[in-house]
Chain A
Amino acid sequence: MAIDTGPAPTTVPEPPPGAPPKDLVMHLWRGDASGGRFQEYRVAPQEGEVVLDVVHRIQATQAPDLAVRWNCKAGKCGSCSAEINGRPALMCMTRMSTLPTDQPVTVSPMRAFPIMRDLVTDVSYNFEVAKLIPAFKPGPRDPDGLRRMAQVDIDRGQEFHKCIECFLCQNVCHVIRDHEENKPRYAGPRFFVRLAELEMHPLDTLDRRNYIREDMGIGLCNITKCCTEVCPEDIHITDNAIIPLKERIVDAHYDPVAWLGRKITGRPVPLAAAEARKHTGAAHAQPAAPATPEPGDIA
C-alpha cells in the first residue's frame, strides 16, 4: 500500500494584476488498496477556511465520491487525520492561510495504516490494541459511597484524557510506520498514554508493568519524540507518559520493593489478574500488597 507520490508539485502561476484572487490548487490523493495517485483540483479561496472545508467543497462540486473521514469539524473527535504537504495533521484544524500558496497543497492519507479509499485509512489496528489494555480497576468506594481524589493527583491523568484518538502519533512512530511487522507486538504512543493514565490513576489497583514491558513492547520506543510533536492536543507523550512508564518498569524489574512503596492502593487482586489475562491471553498482573489509599503518592 505504498503511496505513489504522483506528479511532482508544480508551481502555481501568479494571476495578472487586477485579476480575482487565484484559485487554490489542491493535490488530493485518490485511489484504494490497489493503488492510486494525486489528482489536481482548483477551487476559489474563501476567507477563514481550513483544509477540510476545501476538501468538502471539492467533494460537493467536483468529486462527489471523494472519500474523507470527519465528524465534528472542531478538532474534538480525531477523525480527520491526514498528511498535509507531507505533515501529519487534522484537516479541520489546519487553516489554509497557514500554508504556502505558491505551491499546490497536497493532502494524502496517513501512511502507517492501510488505505481504504482516497483519504480514508483502515485504523482498526488501534481498536485491536485497545482491546488488549487491562481495564481500570478501582478499589471500593469510601463509606459514604463517594470517591475522593485531590485535583493535583489527577492533573496528569486529565492531560492524558485529552487524547482524541486521532492516531497521528501512531502514524508517525517509526517503530510501526516503517515496520509493519512490529504492529503485533507494539501498542504505540497512543496506548502508552492510555497505559500511563491507568498506571497513574490514584484509585487504580492493577499492576500492568510486566505486561507493558513484555506485551506492549515499550522497549522498542527509543524516545525520538516524533509522536509528541504531532499531537494536536499537546499531550507530552514522551516526557509525561512514556519515560515515566519506562522508569516504573525498570523499578519493577530490578526492585519490586521500590515499586510497592510507590503504588498507592491495592489489595490482592487474583480476580483482576484472571480477568485481565482473559482479555489478553497474557499473564501480566501481579497481586499488589494492600495499602490504604493515599492519593498523591504516585504521580
Chain B
Amino acid sequence: MPDSERHDFDVVVIGAGGAGLRAAIEAREKGARTALVCKSLLGKAHTVMAEGGIAAALGNVWPEDNWEVHFRDTMRGGKMLNNWRMAQIHALEAPERVLELEEWGALFDRTQDGRILQRDFGGHRYARLAHVGDRTGLEMIRALQNRAVSIGIDVFMECKIVRLLQDGTGAVNGAVGFWRESGRFVTFGAKAIVIATGGLGKAWKFTTNSWECTGDGMALALWAGADLIDMEAIQFHPTGMVWPPSARGLLVTEGVRGDGGVLKNRDGERFMFNYISPFFAAETAETIEEGDQWYTNKRDFRRPPELLPRDEVARAINSEVKAGRGSPHGGVFLDIASRRTPEEIRRLLPSMYHQFKELADIDITTTPMEVGPTCHYAMGGIRVEADTEATTVAGLYAAGEAAGGMHGSNRLGGNSLSDLVVFGRRAGLAAAERALGMPGDPDVSESQVADVTRHARSYFDNEGGEDAYALHRDLQDTMQSLVGIIRVERELLEAKERLADLAERAAKCAVEGNLQFNPGWHLALDLESMLAVSNCTTLSAIERRESRGGHTRDDYPGFRPEFENVNMITRLVDGEYTIAQEPKPQMPGELSKLFEDGAH
C-alpha cells in the first residue's frame, strides 16, 4: 500500500473545536498556509455540546462588571492555582472575542435594548455568560466553522494524528495521521503546529465527554517531550444524568441552577446550605429565604449555595449520597419544576427539556431530575507560555482544553468557551509568526514516518491479545473507582499499578478486520493516549497531598501551605513518567491587591 500522501503547510492545527477553529482562522488571516485536521467531521467537535454560555465581562446586564472582577472570580474559582497571566489575558480579551463571533454570524440571545444578554452561572459575581438558550456551543462552532470555510482553510476531516515529527533539534516539523475511512496514512510537514484536541473524559466511565475526548493532544505533546501541568485537576461536574444507565453521565447544564433550579436530597431538604465553606461564606446566602430573594433582587441579596463553584457542589452531592440521603438511582434531585412555569422552563432550557423527555421519559416541567457528579473537564493539560501558548517544545503550541494553567484547580462554567477563542487566537497568531519567519520547507524524516506507521499497523499482527473495547472498559473502571472525585493514597497507588498492567496488555491488543473505517483499531490507538494521560493524572494526584479545587484527597483534606504555590509537572524522561513540583508564576502586586479582604 503506498504511504506517499504528503502535505506541507506553514501551520497545522490539530483539532477543530472552538480552539482549533479560532487558531486556524487567525493563522490563515495572518497569511500562513494553514491546515485544520480533525478526527471527526467538521462541526461535530465536542465544543458543539457546550450548553450554558460563554463568559465575558461585557457589562450588558451589570454595568459594574469589568475584567478585574472576572479575573478575580476566575482565580478564586481556580483556588488561586491558575496561571495569573492567562487569567488576566482571558478576562481582558473575552469581550472582544464574543463580539467577533457576532461579526461572523452568531445570534446570541438579546437584552431589551438589543445587546447581548448575559446569564448567571456558578462562581461568577455578575450575570456574565453570553448564550443562546442552552446550545451556546453549537452557535459558536457554527459561526467559527462558517468563517473558516469562507476564508478557504484546508480541512482534513476524519483524519486522526497519531504522532508528531521532530527535527534534529527537537523542534516539531510535522505530524503523521491516517484517514479513518481508508486507514491510509498521511504525513503533514509543518513549520508550526497547534494542538487543540480538547479533553480526556473518555478515560472515565461516567463522563459528559464525546468519544473524541481521549487526551490525544496531551499525549502527542508528552511523547514529543513537552511538559504537562496540574494533571490531577479534573473537574467532576455536579449535575450529570444518573438514569437511565445508557444516559448516565450526560450533562445537565448549570443553567438549570442559574435559572432557579435547586438541589434537594431524598428528604426534600435543600442540603447545599449545609456545605458553605468559609472561603465562600461572605458571598453566599445563609438561609433559603435570602437565597430565594436573590433571583429577583441580585443587588441586595447573596446568591444561593446551589451556585457555588462546581467542585464545592460536586463534593456536597457526593457526601449526601454517601450518607444515604440520595435519590433512588444514586444521585440527588434537581428541581426546577416547582420553581418555574412549564412555559418558562421550555423556553429557557429547551435542550434539557428535550434530553430528559427523549432519553429518560421524564417531563422536567413537572418532575425533578435525578443528577450526580460526572467527569467533565481537564483543567490540567499541556504547559504553555501565557502570551503565546508556546509549549516547552519548539514549534509546538497548544490551546483550549488540551492546554493547562488558565483554570487552576477548578474551572468556572462559561470560562472554557471564552478560553477557546481567546487562546485559540493567540496560538494561531504565534504559530503563524514563527512559520512565516522560517524560510524553506519542513524536512520531515522518512524513517520517523515509517516507524509511526509500522507501529500503528502492528495491532493487526498481535494475535491472541485482548480487544480494545475490553481494555477500555478496564481503564474506565480503574479511573472511575480509584482516581475519581474523592481520592486517597492507597487507591491512587493501586491505580498506578493497574495502569502499568493495562499498558502491557494494551501493547498486545489485537485488532480484527482491516484498515477501512475500523473503530476497533481506532480505539486501540486512542487507548495509547488515554493511558498516557491517565498515568499523568494519577502521578500528579499522588503528589499533591492536599485538597484543592477538582482534586480532593480524603487523606489530606483542605489546602496546605506547602502546595499553595506549586504546579505539578509531569513529563516523560527516558520513556518513564516523572513528576516534579515547580513554583507557580507569582502575581504582580497591583493584581494581588484585588484579593485583599473586602476587595471585589
Contact = CB atoms under 8 A, between A and B. Distances in A.
Query: Do the two chains bind?
Result: yes
Given A75-B355, A95-B359, A279-B150, A149 B110 contact: yes
B512 A64 contact: yes
Given A53-B246, A147-B99, A165-B43, A64 B517 contact: no
A64 B517 CA distance: 11
Contact of A148 (B114, B132, B511): B114
Contacts of B45: 71
The size bracket of the interface on B is 35 or more
Contacts of A146: 99, 115
A49 interface: yes
Given A48-B247, A71-B44, A145-B99, A117 B146 contact: no
Interface stretch (B19-27, B135-143, B220-228): B135-143
A95 B40 CA distance: 24
B113 A148 contact: yes
A264 interface: no
A135 to B, nearest CB: 4
Contact of B244 (A47, A68, A74, A117): A47
Interface stretch (B76-84, B100-108, B276-284, B335-343): B100-108
A67 B518 contact: yes
A54 B451 CA distance: 37
A77 B132 contact: no
B491 to A, nearest CB: 26
A224 interface: no
Interface in A106-160: 116-118, 120, 122-123, 127, 130-131, 133, 135-136, 138, 141, 145-151, 154, 157-158
A95 B359 CA distance: 7
B513 to A, nearest CB: 3
Interface in B221-251: 243-247, 250-251
Given A72-B210, A93-B358, A77 B49 contact: yes
The secondary-structure label for the interface of chain A is loop
B519 interface: yes
B211 interface: yes
A100 B454 CA distance: 47
A71 B107 contact: no
Interface in A44-76: 46-50, 53, 59-61, 64-76
B358 A70 contact: no
A158 B107 contact: yes
Contact of A162 (B102, B135, B246): B135
Given A64-B520, A136-B104, A77 B110 contact: no
Contact of B109 (A48, A122, A138, A151): A151
Given A67-B517, A74-B250, A77-B48, A149 B114 contact: yes
A138 B106 CA distance: 11
Nearest to A61: B469
B516 interface: yes
A47 to B, nearest CB: 6
Given A75-B355, A295-B114, A48 B243 contact: yes
B517 A76 contact: no
A42 interface: no
B103 A150 contact: no
A35 B181 CA distance: 16
A142 B75 CA distance: 33
Interface in A199-235: 201
Contact of B146 (A116, A123, A136, A157): A136
A71 B245 contact: no
A118 B99 contact: no
Contact of A77 (B44, B139, B355): B44
B99 A161 contact: no
Contacts of A162: 135, 138
Interface in B249-263: 250-251
A49 B110 contact: no
B469 A154 contact: no
Contacts of B565: none
B244 A79 contact: no
A25 B383 CA distance: 49
B513 A48 contact: no
Contacts of A279: 150, 152
A71 B113 contact: no
B14 interface: no
15 contacts: A46-B245, A64-B519, A64-B520, A72-B210, A74-B251, A79-B44, A93-B359, A122-B181, A127-B41, A133-B146, A135-B146, A135-B150, A150-B110, A162-B138, A295-B114
Interface of A: 32, 46-50, 53, 59-61, 64-79, 93, 95, 116-118, 120, 122-123, 127, 130-131, 133, 135-136, 138, 141, 145-151, 154, 157-158, 161-162, 164-165, 198, 201, 279, 295
Given A69-B41, A78-B44, 7 more contacts: A46-B245, A71-B212, A74-B251, A77-B48, A116-B181, A116-B517, A117-B181
